[in-house]
Copies of this chain bind each other. A is one copy, B any other.
Amino acid sequence: MSESPASPLVSKLERLSPLTETDRRAVADLVDDEIWLAEGQNLCAEGRAPDAVCALLAGWACRCKDFRDGRRQIIALLTPGDLIGCDEAGASRKADHAVRALTRVRVAWIPRPRLRATLAEHRGLASAVRMAVAMEEAILRAWLVNLGQRPAYQRMAFFLCEMAERVSGGTGGAERFALPLTQQTLACVLGLTPVHVNRVLQRLRSEGLVDFHNGMVTMRDPVRTWALAGFDNEYLVA
């Protein structure tokens, strides 16, 4: 009811497809329970069939594939407003990866039947959710290309360009933004070692392109950085 801090869920969906006032209210009614989770907690463990959908309201999380030897690959980064497990098929498949909080996070649980009912009733909302799913897939494809084709330096540049676009939410790319990840976590995202991540970041800074320090990114020369990375934000627009 309190309209003050617009739900990140609403604002993210709204960016993808126009919502009516009724749609917006329906979103607010979706939530069953909201909780805080500490960094490192699983929103959804690997191997379990997720019975509920959830929405990330605050903080950062990731989809993460862990190996027995301690190595891990981060498959996706999730930011406030992202829906987790909203594709219906998810209910009947064992999760092939975990969803884990990278910071302290606020999570809203949504009973799957309620989501289904709401989406059936509100076409605009359903369309926005489909767009969200499609964009998450597009990001996944972009990451695959990034890992497959770009060397470390450009790979990092590409990733930072993407995050600048994503956190700005379509307002043309943030030039300074919070990215609450350690260099180790960055390594898990990019398929590099922490040591190499460190060197690559230093090089980006010394070349005057991007500055990552203490979880804050500053895009010092977006144009040259885009060019270096071969970045094109097309896949992030609705």
Q: Are B140 and A93 closer than 8 Å at their CB atoms?
A: no
Q: Which of A32-40, A144-152, A175-183, A217-225 contacts B (4 or more CB under 8 A)?
A: A144-152
A144 partner, pick from B87, B140, B238, beta carbons under 8 A: B140
Q: Which of B67, B89, B140 contacts A130 (CB 8 A)?
A: B89
Copies in the complex: 2
A interface majority secondary structure: helix
A105 at the interface (CB under 8 A from B): no
Shortest distance from the beta carbon of A56 to any chain B beta carbon, whole Å: 19
A71 to B133, CA, bound (A): 28
Q: Which residue of B lies closest to A96 (CB)?
A: B235
CB pair B149 A71 closer than 8 Å:
yes
Cβ contact within 8 Å between A148 and B145: no
**CB–CB B130/A87 < 8 A:** yes
Nearest-neighbour CB distance to chain B for A119, whole angstroms, equals 12
A97 within 8 A of B: yes
Q: Which of A88-110 contact B (CB under 8 A)?
A: 88-90, 92-94, 96-97
Q: Is the CB of B133 within 8 A of A87?
A: yes
Cα A141 to Cα B238 in complex, Å, equals 22
14 contacts between A and B (CB under 8 A): A65-B141, A73-B145, A73-B149, A87-B130, A87-B134, A87-B137, A90-B134, A137-B140, A140-B141, A143-B144, A144-B144, A147-B147, A147-B148, A148-B190
